[in-house]
């Protein structure tokens, strides 16, 4: 099995390594020549046997647009492009329409797993035609976690469905992180009662209904910096949370918890807070997202 992989940043490079460990022959391209296997997209296409599969793993928006537009000029009929970045689902329709006249298929893949994906595997939500999904399944199987396929992979629907599912996933993620963070602040302010905040969270990891991977990551972050002294309580949002709320408004679906978590992030940009430090630490743990160091 052969794959072209464009974008070898934090996730893309780990994905290349995991795929190669599963005997997928990966040709990677990045604008950083130190990590790239080929000099440009034309060389990438030339290095892959036809019909080709090319996975795009670059930042959403203008960069993804540019890459897919350039791929349209170097790929051929019968090839398949998969956008595995965090594009908005409406962009998928545009990209599929751009490639279709050239006979190039398109799929979208929502990917979750962050910097831990190399070891643990990636949760995958894909949108596209069944024939294209079946064709790319060895790649999905190599990337997903071990265990039953349906517990780490879903063909969510037609083009756009993968990124729509990932958008909602991230909206839920925002709310879960905010709940843990608010709990942290409440525990941390009652030091006369709670003597071991980190230990309290750690004790919830088995047997309780709030156990989760996010909880494990919060414990890891607390063990590294119990008072979050090295992190400012400033938290960005990468788009999916806002898009989730916009979809909720368009469809008259109440999402008060997700909405509140977004607004809490806006508060974090106005003043430092313990709960926002916890959210910042969580984002750094699971995704390697940048944090602002405290003065």
Q: Which of 102, 119, 130, 173 is catalytic?
A: 173
What lies within 8 Å, CB to CB, of 94 at 6+ separation is none
Cite the residue boundaries of each domain of the chain with CATH code 1.10.1040.10: 167-269
In three-state secondary structure terms, 142 is: helix
166 is catalytic: yes
CATH for the stretch 2-158: 3.40.50.720
pLDDT tens, per residue, the chain with 295 residues: 999 999 999 899 999 999 999 999 999 999 999 999 999 999 999 999 999 999 999 999 999 999 999 999 999 999 999 999 999 999 999 999 999 999 999 999 999 998 899 999 999 999 999 999 999 999 999 999 999 999 999 999 999 999 999 999 999 999 999 999 999 999 998 778 999 999 999 999 999 999 999 999 999 999 999 888 888 888 877 788 889 999 999 999 999 999 999 888 887 776 667 777 888 889 888 878 777 777 6
Could you tell me which CATH number the domain at 167-269 has?
1.10.1040.10
Catalytic option among 166, 182, 240, 277: 166
Predicted confidence at residue 169, as pLDDT, reads 96
Residue 221 near residue 202 (C-beta atoms within 8 A): no
Considering the chain, tell me which residue range(s) the CATH 3.40.50.720 domain(s) occupy. Answer: 2-158
Handedness of CA 5, 9, 14, 15 (dihedral sign): negative
Radius of gyration of the chain from its Cα atoms, rounded to whole angstroms = 20
Q: How buried is 128 (Cβ within 10 angstroms: 0-12 exposed, 13-18 middle, 19+ buried)?
A: buried
Chain centroid to CA 45: how far?
A: 26
DSSP secondary structure letters along 167-225: HHHHHHHHHHHHHHHHHHHHHHT-TTT-S-HHHHHHHTSSSSTT--HHHHHHHHHHHH-
CA atoms of 164 and 150, how far apart (whole Å): 18
User: In this predicted structure, what is the pLDDT of residue 202?
Assistant: 97
Pairing status of strand 80-83 against strand 105-112: parallel
CB distance 162 to 109 below 8 Å = yes
């Amino acid at each position: 099995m052969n794959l072209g992989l464009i974008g070898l940043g934090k996730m893309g490079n780990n994905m290349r390594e995991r795929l190669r460990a599963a005997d997928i022959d990966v040709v990677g391209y990045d604008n950083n020549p130190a990590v790239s296997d080929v000099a440009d997209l034309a060389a990438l296409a030339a290095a892959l046997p036809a019909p080709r599969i090319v996975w795009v793993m670059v930042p959403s928006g203008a960069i993804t647009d540019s890459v897919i537009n350039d791929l349209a000029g170097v790929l051929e009929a019968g090839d398949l492009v998969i956008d595995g970045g965090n594009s908005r689902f409406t962009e998928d329709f545009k990209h599929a329409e751009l490639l279709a006249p050239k006979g190039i298929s398109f799929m979208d893949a929502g990917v979750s797993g962050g910097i831990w994906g190399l070891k643990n595997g990636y949760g995958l939500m894909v949108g596209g035609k069944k024939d294209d999904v079946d064709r790319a399944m060895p790649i999905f199987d190599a990337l997903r976690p071990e265990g039953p396929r349906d517990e780490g992979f879903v063909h969510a629907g037609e083009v756009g469905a993968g990124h729509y599912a990932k958008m909602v996933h991230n909206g839920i993620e925002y709310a879960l992180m905010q709940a843990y963070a608010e709990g942290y602040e409440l525990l941390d302010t009652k030091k006369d009662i709670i003597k071991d905040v980190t230990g309290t969270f750690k004790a919830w990891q088995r047997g309780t209904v709030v156990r989760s991977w996010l909880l494990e990551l919060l414990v890891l972050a607390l063990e590294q910096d119990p008072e979050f002294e090295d992190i400012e309580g400033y938290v960005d949002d990468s788009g999916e949370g806002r898009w989730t709320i916009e979809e909720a408004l368009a469809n008259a679906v109440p999402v008060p918890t997700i909405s509140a978590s977004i607004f809490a992030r806006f508060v974090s940009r106005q003043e430092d807070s313990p709960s926002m430090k916890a959210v910042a630490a969580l984002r750094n743990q699971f995704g390697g997202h940048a944090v602002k160091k405290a003065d």
